[in-house]
Structure 1
Amino acid sequence: MEEWSETKKEGRVLFISMLLIFIVFVSIAIKVEYSGNPALASLPIDQSIGSMEGKEVRFGTGMSTLYSMVTTAAETGAVNNMHDTLTPITGMLAVSNMLLNTVFGGVGFMNVLMYVMIAVFMSGLMVGRTPEFLKKKIESKEMKLIAVTILIHPLLILEFTALALFLNIGNESISNPGFHGITQILYEFTSSAVNNGSGFEGLADNTLFWNITTGIVMYIGRYFSMITLLSVSYSMLNKQTVPNTVGTFRTDTALFGGILIGIIFIVGALTFFPSIALGPIAEFLTI
């Protein structure tokens, strides 16, 4: 019963950590959308109920924005408004949900456990102890597999985005050249890599190039990470159980939850911030 209680506590920490990320993203997105679209501020358009461009009147600004955050965080792919018409910051948050690929969702939970192991490993290095998770030691073999898993996600998204821009195919397909166009392409390959299915729209993507490249990204992005993380779980399964001691770094505390959130954002920021800066952030600063 004590072991079961500890497992439930760890589950609560993981759920609350992901929920906090989700709440912050949703709060910022709703605030920004209700502030209206700055690109339309000089026009005689009433934005007292927020930016309604591309949104359905029966849902309104708040519910449409909430749905956009939910569908990208939970990897459902359903939409109730045009993501292409979201303001730059909200569009950035929508694509960031998929770039982080940890906030809820089936595969998202698999990646949550991956980041948990990274957080445990980093914490172990800081306190000078062998990292342990679920009473199993995390060693170099597991970390190498996790490192490969982390790298394949940005490699697929960023390399194919760069390829589309390099071949000028992206420029011919986007409906809004410039910074917004970069976001359209980035969103397309990010959605494919995490098997979300939603699109920024405005992108003429029903061509041979887009169908083949997004299919490759979807296939590798989906199955490669499954194989590597299943290998991690198999390796952990065959390890001897290590009893908890007074020196064991506990993973069922608020402190560990904070470390986990920090690791997710540090890894995500270091990996994807340059592409985000060239897309939605640059668009926001130039409006």
Structure 2
Amino acid sequence: MTVQGWMLILVFTLILVALAKPMGLWLFAIYEGRRTPLHTVLGPVERGFYKLAGVDPNAEQGWRRYALHMLAFQIATFAFTYFILRFQDLLPLNPRGLAGQSPDLAFNTAVSFVANTNWQSYSGETLSILSNMLGLAIHNFLSAATGIAIAFALFRGFARRQANGIGNFWADMTRVTLYVLLPICVVYATYLIASGVPQTFMTSVDATTLEGAKQTILMGPVASQEAIKMLGTNGGGFFNVNSAHPFENPSALTNFFQMLSILVIGVGLTYTFGKAVGNTRQGWAILAAMLTLFVAGTAVTYWQEAAGNPMLHQLGLAGGSMEGKEVRFGIAASALFSVVTTAASCGAVNAMHDSLTPLGGLIPLFNMQLGEVVIGGVGAGIYGFLLFAILAVFVAGLMVGRTPEYVGKKIESREVKLAVLAIAVLPLMILGCTALASVLPAGLAGPLNKGPHGFSEILYAFTSATANNGSAFAGLTANTPFYNGLLGVAMWIGRFFIIVPVLAIAGSLAAKKVHPESAGSFPTTGLLWIGLLVGIILVLGGLTFLPSLALGPIADHLAMIHGQLF
């Protein structure tokens, strides 16, 4: 570990906190539907869409109607993307004549991008320009906008008094896309182009190596996809090695900005929540709890990667673990990136997570198993965190002997049951699917490694899929009918079987009165509350997933320090 490495982590965290309020204020303006400077240019586009689609943006929707419209939209876009991927060989903008994907792979890929997972069982270079731009990049916007729309709906549930509606799905989607994602991505993509990221319809360029040989380097419209890939916490790479590729991530500076862009909307939404409920201290308390977990995870990962592998030290190879890392970024920036991308539901990688030390790889895995609420994906992080907040105030209510309440709303059995139902989705799918893959021949054929690390590869895959992350312990051969099908199901359930209970909670809360805080209320803005939140999250995650972690990365670590190889 170095002073420079710790300074990188410190500066990154401080800048992230500084961006929370300005980003949160902008998101709050969109949440309220207020006019912004961008409305002069984009307002006619918004109104034109409503007219064309026959949508009244002021028509309130109850939670059932909101959920129905959301699900119908996701199913329609899934079918659209599946068609493009299956028949890309017959469609235009395919100058290399690439074949269409197989039915199971197209199913997996379409579900992946609809669910904001962007898991890739294929090499990124095997998709045509049309498939990348129309089939995938469009979902980077739509799936990100969906997550933020759901967060807005839940905010309204906490903020409104005896209301029947939680907003309008189409208005939320349109405004988030037009006034948040698109304008930021235009500026962001321009910066990436200036930094050396390609944005062209040229598919390749020939280069001459220092030895005089010819090398064909693939290209394409990378910058436009890279910007929304990061900002929308999508993570799907244009190239197979993702953000380790110099055409996706050319320098240490672009690497720093990419990490910031992954988390900036997530931290901004904590401030937006505080503004929505009329108490910004609520938002800061949530952010403090998130950052506590984030900094702790980053410290452990950096410590383990800097410590290196003792088995290599015995062979005379001193220093930290550089296996699977880009020399352009080094250990600190790679360790920080791995925590950032799994603290959010991004899945972009600038180093191979399969090559992390066992405990260094445990933190990204555990981040996802916590539901990626450390900061989380756009929208998904904050609404997932608020599920834990509901459980935390329920526990606090039991301790003080009164009906629990949070930001003025009574938390009763309906909300607690729905929160438990949503939180239970992750362990049921992660552990259930991992168990199946660990005993069935089709599942056991996937891992490259044997022993604990091979088990970790399976566990990581289903954790990443269910948590809608998309990163992988890439030693797993996942492009098989078994893994494509089961991972696809895990991604769909991990996304929408959480969203629907969240919307049900929003509808239930919106119909309730607001109760002013009294002397008997449990305070939800101080250090005690932050500690309770962190404790609830860690206890639930630890009790649920510790046995599987003991069989995987912990056993792998113990084997490593005792000199055992598999």
Q: Report 1:210-249 matches (<5 A).
A: 210-249=483-522
- Is 1:78–2:325 an aligned residue pair? no
- Is 1:191–2:464 an aligned residue pair? yes
- Is 1:18–2:290 an aligned residue pair? yes
Match of 1:123 among 388, 396, 402: 396
Please give the alpha-carbon distance, in whole angstroms, between the structure 2 residues aligned to 1:170 and 1:51: 30
The structural deviation recorded for 1:43 is: 2.1
- Contact 1:171–1:177 under 8 Å retained in 2: no
Match of 2:418 among 134, 145, 159: 145
TM-score by length of 2: 0.49
Please give the alpha-carbon distance, in whole angstroms, between the structure 1 residues aligned to 2:420 and 2:484: 29
Please name the residue that 1:91 is paired with: 361
Please give the alpha-carbon distance, in whole angstroms, between the structure 2 residues aligned to 1:21 and 1:63: 18
Please give the alpha-carbon distance, in whole angstroms, between the structure 2 residues aligned to 1:38 and 1:205: 30
Please name the residue that 2:548 is paired with: 275
- Contact 1:98–1:190 under 8 Å retained in 2: yes
Please give the alpha-carbon distance, in whole angstroms, between the structure 1 residues aligned to 2:502 and 2:339: 26
The structural deviation recorded for 1:168 is: 2.9
Per-residue deviation, residues 10-52 of structure 1 (Å, max 9, x unmatched): 100100110011001101110111111123222232x32x100
Higher Cα radius of gyration: 2
Please name the residue that 1:103 is paired with: 374
- Contact 2:443–2:482 under 8 Å retained in 1: no
Larger RCO: 1 or 2 (CA < 8 Å, sep 6+): 1
The structural deviation recorded for 1:108 is: 1.8
Please give the alpha-carbon distance, in whole angstroms, between the structure 1 residues aligned to 2:291 and 2:479: 35
TM-score by length of 1: 0.96
Q: Mind listing any 5+ residue stretches in structure 1 that lack a counterpart?
A: none
Tell me the SS of whatever aligns to 2:314.
coil
Please give the alpha-carbon distance, in whole angstroms, between the structure 2 residues aligned to 1:160 and 1:67: 27
Please give the alpha-carbon distance, in whole angstroms, between the structure 2 residues aligned to 1:94 and 1:41: 25
Please name the residue that 1:59 is paired with: 329
- Percent identical: 46
Match of 2:428 among 137, 145, 155: 155
List structure 1 segments (4+ residues) > 4 angstroms apart after TM superposition.
Answer: 3-6
Please give the alpha-carbon distance, in whole angstroms, between the structure 2 residues aligned to 1:161 and 1:130: 38
Please give the alpha-carbon distance, in whole angstroms, between the structure 2 residues aligned to 1:6 and 1:25: 31
The structural deviation recorded for 1:167 is: 0.4
The structural deviation recorded for 1:6 is: 6.0
With 208-217 and 237-246 compared, the bigger mean Cα shift is at 237-246
The structural deviation recorded for 1:147 is: 1.3
Please give the alpha-carbon distance, in whole angstroms, between the structure 2 residues aligned to 1:58 and 1:222: 35
Please give the alpha-carbon distance, in whole angstroms, between the structure 1 residues aligned to 2:363 and 2:347: 15
The structural deviation recorded for 1:268 is: 0.5
Please give the alpha-carbon distance, in whole angstroms, between the structure 2 residues aligned to 1:99 and 1:38: 28
Please name the residue that 2:474 is paired with: 201
With 85-94 and 239-248 compared, the bigger mean Cα shift is at 239-248
Opposite residue 89 of structure 1, the aligned amino acid is L
Opposite residue 114 of structure 1, the aligned amino acid is L
Please give the alpha-carbon distance, in whole angstroms, between the structure 1 residues aligned to 2:441 and 2:559: 23
Please give the alpha-carbon distance, in whole angstroms, between the structure 2 residues aligned to 1:14 and 1:241: 20
Opposite residue 67 of structure 1, the aligned amino acid is F
Please give the alpha-carbon distance, in whole angstroms, between the structure 2 residues aligned to 1:245 and 1:62: 47
Please give the alpha-carbon distance, in whole angstroms, between the structure 2 residues aligned to 1:215 and 1:94: 21
- Contact 2:324–2:351 under 8 Å retained in 1: yes
Please give the alpha-carbon distance, in whole angstroms, between the structure 2 residues aligned to 1:275 and 1:169: 20
- Is 1:68–2:338 an aligned residue pair? yes
Please name the residue that 2:97 is paired with: none
CA RMSD after TM alignment: 1.3
Opposite residue 9 of structure 1, the aligned amino acid is R
Opposite residue 56 of structure 1, the aligned amino acid is E
